[in-house]
Every structure is written in C-alpha cells, then in structure tokens.
C-alpha cells in the first residue's frame, strides 16, 4: 500500500520526478551551462584561504552539520549557479525556487503556510505542532492556563502569527486608528562596548529606559511604553512615457512616552515583520558562497559593494555571519525566534532567560511583575527548549511556492531586463545549499532566492541612521524576492521594503538609491513596455 506522503508527492507537480531531476543535475552535469568568468565573484567558486592563514572565526558555521563538497561537486555547483545568458526560455528547474522543498502554488491566503515538499512524513507532526506554538496566543501570568502564560507585561504582540500575518509580511499603519501590531520601532543610542571579533563594529546601546525596542502594548495595570507615531508625505515621480507614481515618505516618532522623554540622541528604526518562507534554505547557504560575492571596496568598479554582516551569536557565543532580519542582525533561525519571543512578547527562552523581556531597570513595575515560569516545568522557562526547537523547525520548513508564468514571453523579457539593468548584482539569483547530515529538506538544493544576503548602502531615502552591529544607518540586507508578489494575496495588504512604505513593486524600485541608484534610474528611463515586463517578471517570482 502506498503511504499518504508518497501519494501526495506523486500527485504533485513538485514530486518524485523533480527530485530525481535535481539530483541528476547536481551529480551528473558534465559541462557548465553558461559561460564562466573566474573573475566574476558571482560565478567564481570561493577560493581556499591563502596557505598559512585560517578563516576568521565569524566565517564558521557551527549551526550546520556540513558534509564537505568534493572538487567535482564544486565544479558542478559553479556551473548550475552561473548567471543566465539565454533568455528565450526558462532555465532548468527554475520553476522550483526552493529546489525539492518547493511547494505547489496555492491561490489563497495559505500560499506561505505549506511545509517543504520533501519533508518526511514522520516530521509533519513536528511542523504542525510548531505551527501551533507559532500561532499560540499568550496571556499574562499568573493564569490557570499555565502552558500559555508569561506574556509581557510590556509587549508588541500576543503571538508570532500576529506579526507574520499568515507567515507573510506585516504592515505599517495607514492612519492613527490602524493596527500597529505587525510593526514596531527599534531603538538605540550611540556608544557602548566594542565587540571583539567583529571588524568595523559600530558600538550602540539600548535606550536607557525604553530598551532596544518600543513596546506599545501592555497587560492591564501596566503602562505601555509609548505609541509609535507615523505620518506620510507624498512625493510624485514621473516615469518615461508620462506615467505618474506617488511615493509616500514616512516620518516616525515616539508619541506619549509613559516613562519620561527618551534620550535626545535616541536612534529610531521602523520595521515590519518579514515573510517567513524559505528561511531554512537561506540558513543552509554556504557562508563561503555568500562571501564570494562581497566586494566591500568595490574593487571591480561596478558601483556595488556588498558587505558581510557580522553579529554576535548568543546561541554559539561567538561572532557569526548575519543572515536574518532587515539588517541581517541574527545568524540563525533559532536565535531570531528567541529574540522575537523576548523582544516582541516578553517571554523567557533558553537563550534569553529574563522573564521581564525588554523591561529596563527604570521600569520597576514591569521588572517585579509575576512571571509565567515555575521550577520543574518547561525547564523553568516560559518558552522551553522543546518549544523553541519546534518553532524553529516550523520556521525552517515553511516552503517557497513554485513559480508561475515563467515561460511567458513578457516574463522572460523582464528577466533579461533585470540582468541587464543590474538588479541581479544584489538580488543574486541562485545558490546551492550545503550538503547536510541532519536536515534533508534543506540539503544540497539548487535554490533561487534572488538575494546575496549581504549589506548594501541603499541611499539617504531609505536610511534609518541607526547602526546595527557593523551595518551602518544606510545599509540593509538584500531582501529575498521569492514569493514577493504573493504578499498581498497572503495578508490582504500589498507593501514592500523594511517599513512597508512601498505599496507596489514599482514604488519599491523607485525608493532604491545608493548602490542601486543607477539601476533605479534605468527603470525610470526605460520604455514603458520594458518596465511592464520587469514588473511581470517580479510578479512571477
């Protein structure tokens, strides 16, 4: 009798045949598919460190159980990840941006909530239990519901799902009465201790009273810290052909602070929750392959100078390559999740065991509030290790939907324009993940995330002027483009960029500056039909 998992796999367009094809592509390809230029860092296989030197500590990958690539495998990987040169037809397996983990396209709000297609049947229960914890509504302590108490007392949301709406993006409020639950303000002040092992680290400290994040909600009997204020200014832009686009520029403020005025030099950075799909695949991209595209001094003179983000990992007690968050502020999914439990909901975890979350010493009522943890129960924490592992497993296995319309002539033309305009200089199309000993769904997959996972100067228009680790106030991590056009379908609100200011893909492009200024200007000046093709390509991802 065929198992349910086997039936589902065989009945899906992303089943056995695709898995066999991907394996054959990566294990038997005799020659490069595209012209190879060893001088091009996007195409080149990362070189070994010079003799007598060792990689920096932050280049390590202690979160992964890596099976090293052979020389032959490295050659094949270089071939399949080389940039496209033929735009008359889709590339092999381009329909499956998450490799064998790609799920079918679901034309509903559940498009981002499917598990990896290659997830083993016996692991589906862990995914579903992790989803339950992700969706759980937490309450204040003490409570008879001891499995769900410990919220706050100062917080931004009651569940992970409140921010990552249907596993998609959050959004900024359009007006004073609109919900702020999926957006917040990061805070810091200049100065602080240096962090050894992180070159070019920019010292900052949490705001002395309000901490590193503004909590605008609270339990009954406690004062929320403040209210995130946002107002919008309109900026008209005229494109070639006479098309008019209106950008909205935000102004942010800390309104009605309950614990006194913040410091005059407080730095504010608005954030919306990012989409959740494909995180496990990004976590499995070799650090060396990411670093191969870095060009911090713009040695090749193309105007693009991507830099690696380096962050301190509380999980591994060492500096690591940052991958997650709008400024790549976390190195692993586990730590990203633990940070959210602490900062967004005030819940203690194995990494951040303080049950008061972000409450500062000046917030005495919050510091003395009852905690939702008891000796001998849940490791004495509000979110124990088992729960953290399940939420991380869920987040790691949220699947990327398959591409749509990728053989449409307009979409193919848009792809060519993206390459010719320079979009793919930062939105790097392809990687092959590590071969992993213990994570089959993410192991040795050809993926198409359209990001280089590096920091880039995006210009004054998008600057938040708030450093994070070594990222400056003008730098942001290149956002992955897979699934980007489905966010409106998933959440009911179409918005883009780190603070959701862009209401369309065209607006998002027009906000690009700094290293992306030339590409942005090319889009403004190109014939309207080429611009429409570029948008059609983005909508196919």
How far apart CA 517 and CA 99 sit, in angstroms, is: 32
Query: How far is the C-alpha of 287 from the C-alpha of 274, rounded, in Å?
Result: 22
What are the residue ranges of helices labelled H in 57-111? 71-80
- The overall longest dimension of the chain from CA atoms, in Å, is 70
DSSP string, 239-257: -GGG-EEEEEEEEEEEES-
Token pair, residue 196, equals: 């050894």
Helices 385-396 + 124-135 axis angle, to 10: 110
Helix boundaries (H) for 136-232: 160-163
Per-residue pLDDT at 11: 33
Model confidence over 211-225: pLDDT tens digits? 999 999 999 999 999
DSSP conformation class of 149: B
**Contact residues for 233 (Cβ-Cβ < 8 A; gap 6+):** 248, 249, 250, 251
Share of the chain above pLDDT 90, in %: 84
Cα distance between residue 452 and residue 523, in whole Å? 21
The half-sphere exposure of 424 on its side-chain side, counting CA atoms within 13 A, is: 25
Structure tokens at 184: 């917040």
**C-alpha 530 chain-centroid distance:** 29
pLDDT(33) > 90: no
Cα separation of 278 and 445, whole Å?
A: 12
Tell me, rounded to whole angstroms, the distance of Cα 25 from its chain centroid. 28
Q: How far apart are CA 159 and CA 170, in angstroms?
A: 13
pLDDT at 110: 97
Residues in the chain: 541
pLDDT tens sequence across 269-319: 999 999 999 999 999 999 999 999 999 999 999 999 999 999 999 999 999
Give the per-residue pLDDT at 54.
Answer: 63
Nearest C-alpha neighbor of 14 from the set 87, 89, 119: 119
Return the structure tokens found at 413. 């033309």
Per-residue pLDDT of 200-212, as tens digits, reads 999 999 999 999 9
**Cα Rg for the chain, rounded, in angstroms?**
23
C-alpha to C-alpha distance for 464 and 462, rounded to whole angstroms: 7
Cα gap 373→393, rounded to integer Å: 23
Q: What is the dihedral of CA 99, 105, 111, 113, to 10 degrees?
A: -50
Q: What is the mean pLDDT of the chain?
A: 90
| Residue 541 buriedness (CB in 10 A; 0-12 / 13-18 / 19+) | buried
Q: Quote the Cα angle for 45-51-56, to 5°.
A: 70
Residue 42 to residue 516: CA distance in whole angstroms: 17
pLDDT at 398 over 50: yes
Residue (of 434, 469, 441) closest to 455 by Cα position: 469
Express each pLDDT in 144-166 by its tens digit. Answer: 887 899 999 999 999 999 999 99
Q: Domain locations in the chain?
A: 57-540
| Torsion angle defined by CA atoms of residues 446, 91, 70 and 428, in that order, rounded to the nearest 10 degrees | -60
Q: Omega before 271 cis (within 30°)?
A: no
Assess contact for 311 and 320: CB atoms under 8 A: yes
What are the E-state strand segments in 158-215?
Answer: 183-190, 204-205
Q: What are phi and psi of 395, to 5 degrees?
A: -65, -35
Integer Cα distance of 404 and 400 in angstroms: 12
Answer yes or no: are the C-beta atoms of 417 and 427 closer than 8 Å. no
Confidence check: pLDDT of 135 > 90: yes
Q: State residue 497's pLDDT score.
A: 97
Report the pLDDT value the prediction gives residue 358, as an integer from 0 to 100.
92
How high is the pLDDT of residue 145? 81
Mean per-residue pLDDT, 434-450: 98
pLDDT interval class at 34 (50, 70, 90): very low
How does pLDDT run across 416-432, given as a tens digit for each residue?
Answer: 999 999 999 999 999 99
H/E stretch holding 492 reads none
**Residue 50 buriedness (CB in 10 A; 0-12 / 13-18 / 19+):** exposed
pLDDT in tens, 16-31: 444 434 443 444 333 3
ω into residue 142 within 30 of 0, thus cis? yes
Return the pLDDT at 17.
41
Give the torsion sign (CA, 462, 466, 472, 475): negative
Query: Which among 207, 428, 221, 455 has a CA at the least distance from the CA of 328?
Result: 455
pTM of this structure: 0.90
Nearest Cα neighbor of 208 from 158, 257, 156, 253 is 257
For residues 248 and 344, give the distance between their C-alpha atoms in angstroms, rounded to a whole number: 27
Give me the residue label for tokens 């099976």. Answer: 67
């Amino acid at each position: 009798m065929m198992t349910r998992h086997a039936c589902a796999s065989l009945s899906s367009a992303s089943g056995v045949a695709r898995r066999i094809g991907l394996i054959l592509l990566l294990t038997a390809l005799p020659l490069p598919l595209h012209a190879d230029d060893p001088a091009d860092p996007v195409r080149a296989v990362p070189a070994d460190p010079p003799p007598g030197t060792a990689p920096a500590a932050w280049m390590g990958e202690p979160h992964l159980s890596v099976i090293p690539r052979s020389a032959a495998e490295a050659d094949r990987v270089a071939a399949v990840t080389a940039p496209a040169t033929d735009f008359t037809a889709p590339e092999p397996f381009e329909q499956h941006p998450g490799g064998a983990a790609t799920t079918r396209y679901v034309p509903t709000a559940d498009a981002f909530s499917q598990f990896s297609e290659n997830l083993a049947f016996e692991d589906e229960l862990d995914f579903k239990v992790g989803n339950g914890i992700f969706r759980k509504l937490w309450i204040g302590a003490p409570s008879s519901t001891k499995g769900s108490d410990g919220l706050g007392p100062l917080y931004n949301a009651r569940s992970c799902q409140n921010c990552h709406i249907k596993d998609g993006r959050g959004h900024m409020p359009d007006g004073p009465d609109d919900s702020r639950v999926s957006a917040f303000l990061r805070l810091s002040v200049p100065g602080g201790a240096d962090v050894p092992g992180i070159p070019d680290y920019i010292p900052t400290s949490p705001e002395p009273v309000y901490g590193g994040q503004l909590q605008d909600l609270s339990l009954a009997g406690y004062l929320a810290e403040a209210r995130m204020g946002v107002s919008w200014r309109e900026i008209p832009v005229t494109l070639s052909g006479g098309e008019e686009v209106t950008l909205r520029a935000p102004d942010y403020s800390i309104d009605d602070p309950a614990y006194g005025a913040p410091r005059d030099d407080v730095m504010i950075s608005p954030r919306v929750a990012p989409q959740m799909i494909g995180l496990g695949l990004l976590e499995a991209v070799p650090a060396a392959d990411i670093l191969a595209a870095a060009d911090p001094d713009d040695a090749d003179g193309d105007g693009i100078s991507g830099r690696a983000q380096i962050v301190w990992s509380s999980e591994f007690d060492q500096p690591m390559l940052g991958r997650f968050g709008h400024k790549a502020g976390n190195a692993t999914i586990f730590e990203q999740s633990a940070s959210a439990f602490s900062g967004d909901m005030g819940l203690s975890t194995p990494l951040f065991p303080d049950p008061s979350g972000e409450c500062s010493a000046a917030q005495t009522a919050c510091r003395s509030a009852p905690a939702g943890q008891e000796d001998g129960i849940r490791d004495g924490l509000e979110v124990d290790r088992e729960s953290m592992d399940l939420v991380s497993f869920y987040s790691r296995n949220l699947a990327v939907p398959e591409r749509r319309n990728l053989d449409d002539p307009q979409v193919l033309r848009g792809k060519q324009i993206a390459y010719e305009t320079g979009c793919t200089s930062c939105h790097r199309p392809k990687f092959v993940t590590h071969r992993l000993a213990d994570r089959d769904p993410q192991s040795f997959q050809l993926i198409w995330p359209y990001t280089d996972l590096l920091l880039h100067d995006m210009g004054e228009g998008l600057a938040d002027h708030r450093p994070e680790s070594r990222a400056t106030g003008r730098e942001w991590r290149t956002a992955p483009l897979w699934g980007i056009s489905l966010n409106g379908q998933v959440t009911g609100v179409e918005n883009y960029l780190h603070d959701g200011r862009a209401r369309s893909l065209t607006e998002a492009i027009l906000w690009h500056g700094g290293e992306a200024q030339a590409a942005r200007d090319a889009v403004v000046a190109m014939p309207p039909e080429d611009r429409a093709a570029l948008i059609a390509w983005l909508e196919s991802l």
